[in-house]
Structure 1
Amino acid sequence: MVSAVTRGATRQGAVFVAAITTYFALQTVLRLWLGGALETDEAEMMVMTPGLRWGYGPQLPLYNWLQWVLFELFGRDLFALSLLKNLLLWATYLFVFIGLRLFVPAGVAAAGALSLYLIPDVAWEAQRATTHSNMLLFTSAITLAAFLWVLKTGRWAAYGALGLAIGLGGLAKYNYWLVPIGLIAAALTLPAFRARVLSPRLLLSLGIAGLVLAGPYGWMLRNPGLAFSSSGKLAMGTAPGLAEQALDGLGQLLAGAAILSVLAVIVGAIVWAVGRGRRAGDPPPPVAALLLRAGAVVLVLMAMGVVAAGVGRITPRWLLPLVFLAVPGGAVWLGARMRPRGGVAFAAILAVLALAVLTGLGFDRYKDRARRAVDFTPLPEVLAGVAPQPGTPVVAEFYAAGNLARLRPDWRIAPYLPFAMREFGGGPVLFVLRENTPETLEQGLREAGWDDPGDPQILEQGAFTLTFTTSGEAMKMRYYLVDTPGPGGDD
């Protein structure tokens, strides 16, 4: 006979799955209903998914692979873009819940998973803009679930799943590596988990991860200029400005961590005030300590990296591995000590936040100078008036390139990345510059692979504007038709 406790846990799990499924279905419908132009990261996928390749550019390839599959199934348009984004976010919450459920009751596991919604870059930016960061969240979630399976059972299958998860995570985003490192280091500090981490079976995990990573990482070693072309975003310093850069970076690191965690802290304080008072029962396993310590390890590693490399620029979303571990850890710690009314308060707060996000995304579509509000429909006609199409290659930054590719999938279009020179060099190429991106033609030529542009042979140049439909404002555009040298330097 199924006990009342088991029935309750099953019911809570079903409610959790139904809630996240409904929410992300609504998000998918909302994105399709709002329509408009593609966001920058969405547009990137339109020009960075030519097929299945070991690598595509500065971003790791896993997102591109899955996006290509959905493009093949559903066509190269907004539905396939929105579907992948929301599937990944849905699966992120699901796998965090599955992993935590191995150690804590269903209600606490649901609270731990849903606490991710209190991270602004997860609740808002992951819906509005990002792509590869969503893959980071998903692979971090399957890594956490597999790691907790290892700690719970020590089975060969669990170690195999962990290896696969680590391999996939290594193809998601570079900062993903902080997640397994943080988890392993934290587990070593907890006697209940140490033996699982020191088991020889972990070699199976490492072996499987290595097999998954071999092809793409080999491509990176063969194409370092393309694979690491965005490393300048870190603004790494050199002596004598190294110390000053490092101090700036540390300040931004702490500020970014505060930005990403402040809402979780506030909500946690409210829930604690409403539901404080430990429930009866055995003390929970140290999974909360594992996650909190893993977050601390990640913070220390990040700080050490900033100091060692003199990193002077930190974007908050780069800190997602830190809050991905720490925020659910805090939620599990709190949830295990809450009376039921605390859970009710938490659910009510999440419902209000979800409604606010759904409403806010609708308003974001119609704000002045919103990316989605740009009317790109005149762009193909303008460019076709400059050079014959679809024969003349076009190079543009991701936002313009992707939206152009959406309208004219048969044109030869590339972003400002080094492979543009290899594919298009040796003839006329039409370069499109959006406002100050890139700032000059010479800078654009260098970004596109012409390392020494010298004095470009400009055949024609001009300017035009595209319109923001919400405000009527103009987005300034420039173009240059250039007779480019080939890969060997000859015309």
Structure 2
Amino acid sequence: MLQQNQSATYGIRLSSERHAILLAAIAIYFIVNFLARMALPGNLELDEAEQSYFSQWLMAGYSSQPPLYNWLQYATVQLFGLSLASLSALKNLILFSAYVFYFLAAREVMRDRQVAAIATLGLLTIPQVAFEAQRDLSHTVATIFTASLFLYAFLRTVRRPSISSFLLLGLATGVGVIAKYNFVLLPAAAFLAILSDAKWRPRLFDWRLLLAGVIALVIVAPHALWLVDHISAASAHTMRKLTGSGGAPALAMLNGLGSLALASLGFGGLTLALFALTHREKLPAIFRARSDWTRLTGRILIFALGLIVLMILFGGVEKVRDRWLTPILILLPLYLALKIDAAAPNLQPEMRRIWAIAIALMVLIPTLLLGRVATASLTGLYQYPNYPFASMAEEVRPQVTSAPTLVVTLDTHMAGNLRLHLQPVPVLALSTPAGLKPPPTPEHQRILFAWRSAADGTSAGLPQKFEQYLQERGMKADASQIRAVTLPYAYGRAGDEYHFAYAVFDIGH
């Protein structure tokens, strides 16, 4: 008996040590990604620039995406200031937290705690989670986190319900909805999976579920009230991405189902292949293995994909992108790990392979993120961090510091970059979706318009949106005010240059 107790204690200690190693490795991985981003030029990617731009305001809604990430970025900027470090650190902290909650979710339902590591490391095999989220995503990054948090809260509530687990479930659901609208498919599919399972169905009649609902509603309410007044403007951009050109219904359905199949393969294909490779000797046993948890998670996947199929058949959805499946198919590594756990194999040889693949990916991903920008002089392929926004900011700095100035651009990408490099000068982008009012700007005595131009940018005149902006303020456009700027790319080839233009107008002159 004593020997059994000692063996159990040793097993728990060994398991805890392995889990500590896992979390330490993941933490180091995200620190390396942060350092890799800091080593690149301070010119921002699309989503980074959008966050830089919107960090000027705290609002209930911003554009076609819900505001969770914007709120987190605003708070970060208020605490630490706006910088490349505060933009990248927030992203990597959110992603690290997502891996931690995914690990906790897996540990909640695994018989063999080693398999929780398999599930967690499986996130590295999803391109949209491992690479794209690091390259340039924000709202999807928030969705990765909230989906992981939801899975932990949901599985904990199903396995060992308590007031705290239900409150956490409500919190996860609420923040998920304001992270990205397609997140609602995950709790909807989870509800249907519970409803269809006789063993777990009583959880739906627990009075504490009402507490979860109240918490979720309180979190969602500020943005929901904003959305009621802006539903058309907020949804138009997303619907353009999802729907087609209004052709034959049968063809639209085929296009939708085909795009769903391709998106699913693009999202989970590598994960399936690598799981099959690392467990190749035991695939038949793993395929046949069943448990209560494989049944539940498998049904969540089926119901979630089924809801998308209904949207294709009856909602006109024709273009499903792999990134749009994030809150659904992020469940895939957990489901596969549960199948492995149900088969109860000896995992020693597989764990060595899994760690080898994971370490290779942890090295490969930051290397690719660095290489795609740093090798531009060799490839001639320029990424957004190669664009010379920092140099442009230095070019116009004397104009914006000699009088209170508002910088006006056509899009949030340039606006966010100039906001980063010219702060505290306020910046406004005129690409606000139709129906949404531009955010408020402080009093100013000068307007500086900035835009991308062709090599002969001065001959094109002031863009029409800028002319309209001046007319609304009783001012006239003057082409003589336009200045063309030609600047080299960061890490660019000799002779390769990017072209900007700007124009300055003093109010009242």
TM-score range, shorter chain: 0.7 to 0.9
Q: Aligned partner of 1:471: which letter?
A: G
> Which of 484, 490, 495 is equivalent to 1:469?
490
What is the CA-CA distance between 1:240 and the residue it aligns to? 5.0
Q: Does 1:395 align with 2:409?
A: yes
Q: 2:208 maps to what in 1?
A: 201
Specify the structure having the higher radius of gyration (Cα): 2
2:424 to 389, 410, 420: 410
TM-score between the two structures when normalised by the length of structure 2: 0.84
**Alignment partner, residue 357 of structure 1:** 365
Distance 1:108 1:121, change over 3 A: same
Give yes or no for the alignment of 1:458 onto 2:477: yes
Cα distance change, pair 379–131 in 1 and its aligned pair in 2 (3 A) = same
Structure 1 position 47, deviation (Å) = 0.9
Q: Which residue of 1 aligns with 2:53?
A: 47
1:230 Cα offset (Å): 2.5
Contact 2:406–2:428 (CA under 8 A) maintained in structure 1? no
Q: Does 1:5 align with 2:11?
A: yes
Alignment of 1:241-260 (within 5 A): 241-260=248-267
The 1:267–1:73 alpha-carbon spacing in structure 2 relative to 1, beyond 3 Å, is same
Residue number in structure 1 paired with 2:438: 420
1:108-142 deviations in Å (ceiling 9; x for gaps): 11211221111101110111111111100101111
Equivalent pair of 1:274/1:345 in contact (CA under 8 Å):
no
Query: Aligned to 2:30, which of 11, 24, 33?
Result: 24
Partner of 1:152: 159
* Residue aligning to 1:487: none
Displacement of 1:287: 1.9
| CA–CA distance in structure 2, aligned partners of residues 133 and 81 of structure 1 | 15
Q: Distance in 2 between matches of 1:428 and 1:414?
A: 13
Matched residue, 1:375 = 388
Greater shift after overlay, 3-12 or 377-386? Answer: 377-386
- Alpha carbons 2:404, 2:446 under 8 Å: kept: no
Task: Report whether the alignment pairs 1:122 with 2:129.
Answer: yes
Q: In structure 1, how many angstroms separate the alpha carbons of the residues matched to 2:478 and 2:309? A: 50
Deviation at 1:442, TM superposition (A): 7.3
Question: In 1, distance between residues paired with 2:397 and 2:506?
Answer: 17
SS in 2 for 1:60: coil
CA apart distance, 1:479: 4.9
Shift of 1:264: 0.8
Work out the number of aligned pairs and report it: 475
Aligned-pair distance for 1:249? 2.7
Do the aligned partners of 2:385 and 2:490 also contact (CA within 8 Å) in 1? no
Aligned partners of 2:58 and 2:14: how far apart in 1? 45
Match of 2:405, SS state, is coil
Q: In 2, Cα distance between the equivalents of 1:138 and 1:334?
A: 24
Aligned to 2:301: 295
Q: Which runs of 5+ in 2 are unaligned?
A: 455-459
Q: Is the 8 A contact 2:405 2:445 kept in 1?
A: no
Contact 1:376 1:466 survives alignment (8 Å):
no
Instruction: Give TM-score scaled by structure 1 length.
Output: 0.87
Task: Say if 1:163 and 1:400 are closer, same or farther in 2 by CA, change over 3 A.
Answer: same
Aligned partners of 2:82, 2:397: CA distance in 1, in Å?
A: 22
State the secondary structure of the residue aligned to 1:185: helix
CA distance in 1 between counterparts of 2:210 and 2:290 reads: 30
- The one-letter amino acid paired with 1:397 is D
Q: CA deviation at 1:89?
A: 0.9
SS of the counterpart of 2:416? helix
Change (3 A) 1:426 1:72: closer
Q: Which one of 93, 96, 100 corresponds to residue 90 of structure 1? A: 96
- The 3 A distance-change label for structure 1 pair 316 and 197 is same
Measure, in 1, the Cα distance between the counterparts of 2:147 and 2:312.
Answer: 22
Cα shift readout 1:403-455 (whole Å, capped 9, x = no counterpart): 1111111222122214338659999855444369xx99878579xx98x99xx
Instruction: Pick closer, same or farther for the CA change 1:233–1:427 going to 2, 3 Å.
Output: farther
Q: Give the match's secondary structure for 1:477.
A: strand
Deviations for 1:292-338, whole angstroms, at most 9, x for unmatched residues? 22112111111221232323333221111221122321232134433
SS in 2 for 1:475: strand
Shift of 1:371: 1.2
What is the identity, as a one-letter code, of the residue corresponding to 1:399?
Answer: H
Gap change, CA 1:269 and 1:11, over 3 Å in 2: same
More helix by share: 2
1:208: Cα distance to partner?
Answer: 1.1
Residue in 1 aligned with 2:457? none
Q: Which residue of 1 aligns with 2:176?
A: 169
Work out whether residues 459 and 483 of structure 1, in 8 Å CA contact, stay in contact via their aligned partners in 2.
Answer: no
**1:83-106: CA deviations, max 9, x gaps?**
111111111111111122122122
Whether 1:334 and 2:340 are equivalent positions in the alignment is yes
* d(CA) in 1 for partners of 2:465, 2:254: 32
Instruction: Specify the SS of the correspondent of 2:56.
Output: coil
Aligned 8 A contact 1:278 1:336 in 2: no
Distance 1:12 1:288 in 2: 24
Secondary structure at the counterpart of residue 110 of structure 1: helix
Q: Residues 166-212 of structure 1: CA distance to partner in whole angstroms, max 9, x if unpaired?
A: 11111101111111112221222333322213433222211110111
RMSD between aligned residues: 3.3
Paired residue secondary structure (1:471): coil
Alpha-carbon distance between aligned partners in 2 of 1:164 and 1:149, rounded to the nearest angstrom = 14
Give secondary structure in 2 for the equivalent of 1:414: strand
**1:135/1:444 Cα in 2 relative to 1: closer, same or farther (>3 Å)?**
farther
For 2:478 and 2:51, locate their aligned partners in 1 and report how far apart those are by CA, in whole Å: 30
Percent identity over the alignment is 28
